[in-house]
Chain A
Amino acid sequence: MEPLGDCYRIPIRGAMSEKRTDLLRGTLDLLVLKALSLEPLHGVGISRRIKQMTMGAFQVSFGSLFPSLHRMEERGWVEAEWRTSENNRRAKYYRLTSLGRAQLKVEERDWNHVVKVMKAAVQSA
């Protein structure tokens, strides 16, 4: 598999520690929802947007991104439709639903909470 340099690799399902995966999978959901909050994007577009948003620190593997997207679709957080892309190619575009927007708010709040708590914990030592 392609070595990913020094950027973070979001672990795929079935990795050694389930707990850790859950935390990071939640993070991925948040990033995807955030990426879609401005405009509908296709899979590759989402990947690029996340890279851009995180200033190149996170590069999501497609093996994690697509399952995440499909799960969110099954849950009704995003909707998909086939459109023609800027390069005149057909692509499946994902768009946030109102449910997805609500979920984004929840995830953002949770994340902020985690960051605050973690920061306090790390600084306390």
Chain B
Amino acid sequence: MPRRIVSLFRNLLRKHTVEQALDDELQSSVEILAQEKMKDGLSRTVALRQALIELGGVEQVKEEVRAIRVGRFLENFVRNLRLALRTMAKTPSFTAVVILTLALGIGANTTIFAMVSRFVLHTAPVGDPPTLFTLHTTDHNQCCNNFSWPLFTDVRDNAKSFSGVAGFYELLPASISGSGDPQRLWGQAASTNFFDVTQLGMTLGRGFRSDEQNSPVIVLGDRVWKSRFSSDPNILGKSIALSGHPYTVIGVAPPYFRGIDLILDTQFWVPIGNIDQLLPNTGHFDWRNYHWIAVAARLKPGVSRAEAAAELQLLSQRFAQAHPDTEKNLGFHFDRAGSLPPRDKSVILVFLSTLMLVVFLVLLIACANVGNLFLARAAGRQHEIAVRIALGATRGQLLRQVLTESVLFSLIGGLFGVLISVWATGGLSTFRFPVPVTLDLNVGIDYKVLLFTFLLSLATGVLFGLLPAWTAAWGSPSTALKGEDVLASPGRFWTLRNLLVVAQISMSLVLLCVTGLCLRSLRSASSISIGFRSSGVLAMSIDPRLHSYTPERTVQFLIELQRRCSVVPGVSSAAATDALPLSGGHRSDGFQAVGKKPLDPTPIVELYMASPGYLDTLGIHLLNGRDFSNESASSPRVAIVNQVFADTFFPHENPLGQSVSSGGITYEIIGVTNNIKSRFLGEDLRPVLFRSLPQTVASDPSFEGYTILARTAADSTSVATSVRSVIRDMDPTLAVFNKQTMEHHVREALFLPRLAGTLFAVFGTVGLLLAAIGLYGVMNHTVSLRIREIAIRMALGAQASSVLRHFLRRGLQLTAIALAIGLPAAFVIAKLFNSILYGIKPNDAITFVSIPLFLAFVTLLASYIPARSATKLDPMTALRYE
């Protein structure tokens, strides 16, 4: 309807002309009517009067005409908006408090939703994400494992539901040439159809050709292309050194692609046939029981997910019959590409949904608070509103006006909330998982988060605006016109405001209890005995295997490196090992004692390689027996175990001299140490076995390289430089990674308790502040309403203390009810946190006694302050108070 749009613009933009024309028309109508009447013999004055009466009043008709104009709604909206802005500017402190409150509540939600969006809602960064799936194998329906090479080829060649099935080794370490010091990176070895199945558009060049399975070609990730090859546009066809082998660059992946999943930070891709060369001494890549290959499959157009699942089900039965020894209970697990790893999914989802719940509580508290502030203000505006209703304003109009204002507040609050969460997600992104693999855990604000925040702000505005709007528009105008407070409802305890305060305090209680638990957990986590001394120890890692070192040369290199490091000035002792404890799990295997009844189930033992001096350097105490000395690869295998190991396998016996075996290798126990934490800080103690490094490198090489440890007395940064130069002197091509102090490493191991502690401390404080402000506001208002009554009572001889007691009792009543509601709720919610608490139980007595007391104290204070100021007033002033 173009004509109406023209009218709309005319009505809005040329309002003055339109109004003038209407006025002219009505004036001329009055004249015409008056002239008619003058013809009947009336005087001009009388005729004009009668004409006006017949017309029904010029202004009234104008109002009727305006009401039907196009754009009337918009005009009203703009008017309401102007009014709202004016009110906001008139009460800056009120405005600031409301906006800050909302910004905190909405910002908390935005931040957590940003995490949800990043880890749960994101689709894989591939072409046509909905039809790409990741496959896992299951055993006895138990989730989930990778594929073996033969199983992968079986599925690839037999499954008809897929247009392509790609396999890839997810974590391939390699050192890469280019500018600067050699650097160790993580890449993937993929089947040649990888880039076709993922349907990726390349920044430069192409993916693999089908005849390149064993060719030395490489696709670079965007970041490594930019940082190490300075975005060289002519890089295609050039040869680069990957772990010392020449590879020809054939393509550069787009910047958003770092692998199909959204967590690993993959920086290069090579054809899968090169894996033997890049991971030497690993072997078994073609075994049917060696599960090493991750699989992604592209659904054929027109095939549904259910059909594909049914076909896989059939295939798994066929494979089980064909290979009963390895695939008897085989099944397949099916997931949208880019979903969380199936094994960790549920834990992450629980963590995120609990967080969502908590921030939602914060927002509800904020809403209750702001609603209360608005109620208090609405009370002051009752007179105005009543007058407007009496003058003919409809309730709809009033409702629209109040809602315009509250939504405006919440949208501005949301805007600041986004700013808060930009800052907060920046902070979150600096948290690091203590794992040797590089992960991409950056959280940012994307369009989904912005949309969520917008809708949330809108809903918030309606929620906290509706209550005051409702009471304002539906309160009885006659009461308000007489100057009485329609919301005061004298004598009634359950007023809307009191309800809001009770809700607020009980929600704060839940929040504070959770906060208390997390903070206590953080405290107990940082005082957990880890079993070794982290201070003054320096660690850095190398992976000689990536530089084509033989196992023998690796051992020689490590022993020599240890010797040279131990004479660096400032170093008191040095040692070599494979991986550091508290890295989230490294090597572990089932063990049995030789010559004893086998334990059932087979105990899983944590394995570390250790050079002589390892125990000293890390400060692990030898309780019994001796340290490694100069074992050689060919001499009988020896091992040192921890106390838990000894107690598990040799209760009431001397473990020294006993033998244990695993995977066909027998170790003689030569020493027993104190217990150490192996994977995580919060774990129950696990059995640990230290193997002699020279005896193990050949038979069971580390996938993540080797670490040199140096205990320093002096400043560790200067020593770090010296140790780095020792490595450079011995082999300048070696890439050094994970340079850090043990202290730093242990701090990273506090990741989860620290993250939870930080988040909840912030949310808890915000919630408490809001609740205290809310209660203070309500008590203040209650007192101000009764100030005359107080004055009369005091003038008649009431003691200040009895007045004070009265109000304190009021505050306490509200608090007591709130605690009665909040405590059981807090108990239930705290149970959800069990999995992330360290060293304390979810029904921790200290938390559940101290937090309610603390909250009661705060609420008491919030009611005491306004009550006391009322009793301090001069009765004469108070009596005249309006």
Partner of B28, one of A13, A62, A89: A89
Report chain A residues within 8 Å CB of B28: 42, 89-92
A70 touches B32 (CB 8 A): no
A92 to B24, CA, bound (A): 9
User: What residue in chain A is nearest B71 (Cβ atoms)?
Assistant: A74
Report chain A residues within 8 Å CB of B53: 2
A90 to B55, CA, bound (A): 18
* A77-118 with Cβ < 8 A to chain B: 85, 87, 89-92
A1 to B31, CA, bound (A): 20
Q: Smallest distance from the beta carbon of B35 to chain A beta carbons, Å?
A: 5
Known: A66-B61, A87-B35. A1 touches B69 (CB 8 A): no
B 1-33 binary contact with A (CB < 8 Å = 1; else 0): 101100100000000000001101110110111
A85 to B53, CA, bound (A): 22
Partner of B32, one of A63, A66, A76, A87: A87
Interface: B64 (CB within 8 A):
yes
Report chain B residues within 8 Å CB of A89: 28, 31-32, 35
Q: Smallest distance from the beta carbon of A36 to chain B beta carbons, Å?
A: 16
Interface: B302 (CB within 8 A):
no
Q: Smallest distance from the beta carbon of A121 to chain B beta carbons, Å?
A: 31
Interface: B92 (CB within 8 A):
no
A43 touches B25 (CB 8 A): yes
A43 to B65, CA, bound (A): 13
Interface: A64 (CB within 8 A):
yes
Report chain A residues within 8 Å CB of B56: 1-2, 61-63
Known: A2-B53, A74-B3, A74-B4. A13 touches B25 (CB 8 A): no
Considering only CB atoms and an 8 Å cut-off, how many residues of chain B contact the other chain?
Answer: 28
A70 to B65, CA, bound (A): 7
Interface: A67 (CB within 8 A):
yes
A87 to B67, CA, bound (A): 31
Interface: B60 (CB within 8 A):
yes
A89 to B25, CA, bound (A): 11
Considering only CB atoms and an 8 Å cut-off, how many residues of chain A contact the other chain?
Answer: 24
Known: A42-B28, A91-B29. A74 touches B67 (CB 8 A): no
Report chain B residues within 8 Å CB of A57: none
Interface: A20 (CB within 8 A):
no
B64 touches A66 (CB 8 A): yes
Report chain A residues within 8 Å CB of B55: 62
B29 touches A42 (CB 8 A): yes
Q: Smallest distance from the beta carbon of A77 to chain B beta carbons, Å?
A: 10
Q: Smallest distance from the beta carbon of A82 to chain B beta carbons, Å?
A: 8
Most chain B CB neighbours (cut-off 10 Å) among A67, A76, A85, A90: A67
Known: A42-B28, A91-B28. A62 touches B4 (CB 8 A): no
Partner of A74, one of B29, B60, B64, B70: B70
Report chain A residues within 8 Å CB of B29: 42-44, 62, 91
Interface: B307 (CB within 8 A):
no
* B41-83 with Cβ < 8 A to chain A: 53-56, 60-61, 64-65, 67-70
A64 to B56, CA, bound (A): 10
A44 touches B32 (CB 8 A): yes
A13 touches B54 (CB 8 A): no
A66 touches B65 (CB 8 A): yes
* A34-73 with Cβ < 8 A to chain B: 42-44, 61-64, 66-67, 70-71
Report chain B residues within 8 Å CB of A2: 53-54, 56
User: What residue in chain A is nearest B24 (Cβ atoms)?
Assistant: A92
User: What residue in chain B is nearest A12 (Cβ atoms)?
Assistant: B64
A2 to B22, CA, bound (A): 23
A75 touches B32 (CB 8 A): no
Q: Smallest distance from the beta carbon of B126 to chain A beta carbons, Å?
A: 52
B4 touches A66 (CB 8 A): no
Report chain A residues within 8 Å CB of B67: 13, 67
Partner of A64, one of B3, B32, B54, B64: B64
Report chain B residues within 8 Å CB of A42: 28-29, 32
Q: Smallest distance from the beta carbon of A15 to chain B beta carbons, Å?
A: 12
A91 touches B3 (CB 8 A): no
* B373-388 with Cβ < 8 A to chain A: none
A 24-35 binary contact with B (CB < 8 Å = 1; else 0): 000000000000
Known: A63-B56, A64-B64, A66-B26. A85 touches B7 (CB 8 A): no
* B86-141 with Cβ < 8 A to chain A: none
A13 to B65, CA, bound (A): 10
User: What residue in chain A is nearest B70 (Cβ atoms)?
Assistant: A74
B61 touches A62 (CB 8 A): yes
A1 to B57, CA, bound (A): 9
A71 to B11, CA, bound (A): 12
Q: Smallest distance from the beta carbon of B793 to chain A beta carbons, Å?
A: 50
* A1-21 with Cβ < 8 A to chain B: 1-2, 12-13
Partner of B3, one of A13, A44, A75, A85: A75
A67 to B68, CA, bound (A): 6
Report chain B residues within 8 Å CB of A92: 21, 24-25, 28
Known: A61-B56, A62-B55, A63-B56. A76 touches B68 (CB 8 A): no
Report chain B residues within 8 Å CB of A91: 25, 28-29, 32
A70 touches B61 (CB 8 A): no
Q: Smallest distance from the beta carbon of A99 to chain B beta carbons, Å?
A: 9
Given A70-B65, A75-B4, 5 more pairs with CB closer than 8 A = A13-B68, A62-B54, A66-B26, A85-B32, A89-B35
14 contacts between A and B (CB under 8 A): A42-B28, A43-B25, A43-B29, A62-B55, A63-B60, A63-B64, A66-B65, A70-B65, A70-B69, A74-B7, A74-B69, A76-B3, A89-B32, A91-B28
List 3 A-B pairs, minimum CB-CB distance, nearest first.
A74-B7, A67-B68, A92-B25
